[in-house]
Amino acid sequence: MTVRFVGAGPGAPDLITVRGQRLLREAAVVLYAGSLVPAELLAECRADARLVDTQGLDLDAIEAEFVAADAGGLDVVRLHSGDLSIYSAVAEQLRRLEARGIDHELVPGVPAFAAAAAALGRELTVPEVNQSVVLTRLAREASAMPPRETLDNLGRAGALIVLHLATHLVDEVVAELLPNYGSDCPAAVVAYASQPGEVVLRGTLATIAAQVTEAGLRRTAVILVGRSLAAEGFRDSHLYSCTRPR
């Protein structure tokens, strides 16, 4: 058997990959986070599939599901929201599977920051404005951040910065980014990207915190800060330049 970790995407059920959808339809056992994975995706599962909502399970209980499926020779799909590469808590599950010699595979999904950029109608990297994207978070109610990965340190280059799991701390975010970005720097918050209740807020570092508070946003959102969010008059990309050697 194989445990296949599948990125379910940012929320819209049709933003799962074709490969992820196929594996979901074939799996005998499906583990999913009920609070984050759209119910419509579960309708794709086999009628006889064992569906396990992991919302109330700890890591030991999740591992026990993997072990039981392995003993029965049953392929597993482990659905995670967004993409597996960041803030997915996949690493500790993989470590346990590797220790037990259980085969596993990772299938990427559409990440939340990409869905947020689509909602904003913006490319995050714009020629001579922003060419780097920093994906990060704050450490308040979760795992500690490495000491040097502060917003002050990460923001010194002025790269487009995307904060996950930090909307409830937006005042702190603004205070820490202001010295490097300035109060006029474009900022945006996208909540429930790609979902029916999607919320898009646009402003600057001077205004975005008040907008978030007024909208009552807390957690299921990303904060984006950087000049490329409102860039105008920038040069064309070299990729399509008529002077580029062919």
Q: For the chain, give the percent of residues with pLDDT over 70.
A: 96
- Give residue 35's pLDDT: 82
Does residue 230 have a pLDDT over 90?
A: yes
In this prediction, residues 4-30 reach a mean pLDDT of 96
Are 26 and 48 a contacting pair, CB within 8 Å? no
- Give residue 243's pLDDT: 60
Domains of the chain: 3-107 (3.40.1010.10), 112-230 (3.30.950.10)
Q: How confident is the model at residue 146 (pLDDT cuts 50, 70, 90)?
A: confident
Q: How confident is the model at residue 220 (pLDDT cuts 50, 70, 90)?
A: confident
In this prediction, residues 127-156 reach a mean pLDDT of 89
Task: Tell how strand 160-164 and strand 221-225 pair up.
Answer: antiparallel
Q: How confident is the model at residue 114 (pLDDT cuts 50, 70, 90)?
A: very high
Does residue 23 have a pLDDT over 80?
A: yes
- Give residue 47's pLDDT: 96
Average pLDDT, the chain: 93
Does residue 210 have a pLDDT over 90?
A: yes
> Which token pair is 231?
């860039």
Does residue 238 have a pLDDT over 80?
A: no
Beta strands in the chain (DSSP E): 3-7, 29-32, 50-53, 76-80, 104-107, 133-137, 160-164, 186-191, 199-204, 221-225
Are 204 and 183 a contacting pair, CB within 8 Å? yes
Does residue 60 have a pLDDT over 80?
A: yes
Q: How confident is the model at residue 38 (pLDDT cuts 50, 70, 90)?
A: confident
In this prediction, residues 66-95 reach a mean pLDDT of 96
> Which token pair is 119?
């909602």
Query: Among 176, 130, 131, which Cα is nearest to 155's?
Result: 176
> Which token pair is 138?
């704050």
Does residue 241 have a pLDDT over 70?
A: no
The rounded distance, in Å, linking the Cα atoms of 175 and 183 is: 10
State the pTM of this model: 0.91
